[in-house]
Amino acid sequence: MNLPTAEAPRPTADVRAGVHQFPATTAAPALARRAVAELLAGWGLTELLDTTSLLVSELLTNAVRATAAAGPRSKAIVAMRISWAAESLVIEVWDRNPKPPTLQVQYLDGEGGRGLHIVEALSIAAAYYPSPTGQGKVTWCQIEAPTAVPVDPPTAPLPRRQATVARADSLYFDDLAVLRRVLNGLCALDTQLPRGEVMRQ
């Protein structure tokens, strides 16, 4: 049995999101858990860390396996996006295999195949959808979270002050006598400046 097909929730207000890419290797789940810990700490959602880490581990593990099943590829990756808005946290994981994620039949003595069952049990919703790029799929789940705090709007730029005195685009002054008096006045303020008599005629 496959997970149902459905788009992930897309809130339009007060959305916080983090996007990460990982090599499609067995190290991906651990790297994702580390990224999740930093992200949730920054959002003040550490109380959701245990559940979110478990869900991320299961989804990333399945994504790595699906990537391998799609055939060898150099530098293959998987990707994760976590979004917090309204009263929920949405975890989305992309892999390049377009085949739907399968809920495997469970046996009492079985040691594997529980990943998506765990995801379903811990989530208020779980599904997948084909990638909008036409390459691969996105498997996602949703859990309850505290109400997202409104995001502060960007600060408006300060108004530019208009000049109160009109200025000419260019100014050329060629009265040598006036220029000499200006230079002598400056010299009187600073004895280190050259005297006006050195000014060339």
27-49 confidence digits (pLDDT tens): 999 999 999 999 999 999 999 99
Tell me whether residue 161 is in a domain.
no
Tell me what the pLDDT averaged over the chain comes to: 82
Tell me whether residue 157 is in a domain.
no
- State the Cα–Cα distance between residues 187 and 193, nearest whole angstrom: 5
Tell me whether residue 149 is in a domain.
no
Summarize the confidence of residues 13-26 as an average pLDDT.
92
Are 178 and 140 within one domain? no
Tell me whether residue 173 is in a domain.
yes
Structural domain boundaries, residue 182: 169-201
Are 176 and 140 within one domain? no
Summarize the confidence of residues 73-101 as an average pLDDT.
93
Are 97 and 176 within one domain? no
Are 125 and 175 within one domain? no
Are 26 and 108 within one domain? yes
* Residue 108: per-residue pLDDT: 43
Are 59 and 104 within one domain? yes
Work out the pLDDT band at 187, boundaries 50, 70, 90.
low
Work out the pLDDT band at 169, boundaries 50, 70, 90.
low
Tell me whether residue 11 is in a domain.
no
In this predicted model, which residue has the larger pLDDT, 135 or 165?
135
Are 123 and 191 within one domain? no
Tell me whether residue 1 is in a domain.
no
Are 140 and 189 within one domain? no
- State the Cα–Cα distance between residues 35 and 18, nearest whole angstrom: 9
CA distances from 15 to 18, 82, 147 (A): 10, 10, 11
Q: Which residues contact 61 (CB under 8 A, 6 or more apart)?
A: 28, 29, 115
Tell me whether residue 4 is in a domain.
no
Asked if the model's pLDDT at residue 50 lies above 70, the reply is yes
* Residue 112: per-residue pLDDT: 47
Place of tokens 């880490």: 53
Q: What is the CATH number of the domain that holds 51?
A: 3.30.565.10
Asked if the model's pLDDT at residue 198 lies above 60, the reply is no
Tell me whether residue 160 is in a domain.
no
Work out the pLDDT band at 86, boundaries 50, 70, 90.
confident
Asked if the model's pLDDT at residue 200 lies above 50, the reply is no
Are 93 and 182 within one domain? no
Summarize the confidence of residues 187-197 as an average pLDDT.
54
- State the Cα–Cα distance between residues 86 and 80, nearest whole angstrom: 20
Asked if the model's pLDDT at residue 193 lies above 50, the reply is no
Number of domains making up the chain: 2
Q: Which residues contact 181 (CB under 8 A, 6 or more apart)?
A: 196
pTM of full prediction above 0.75: no
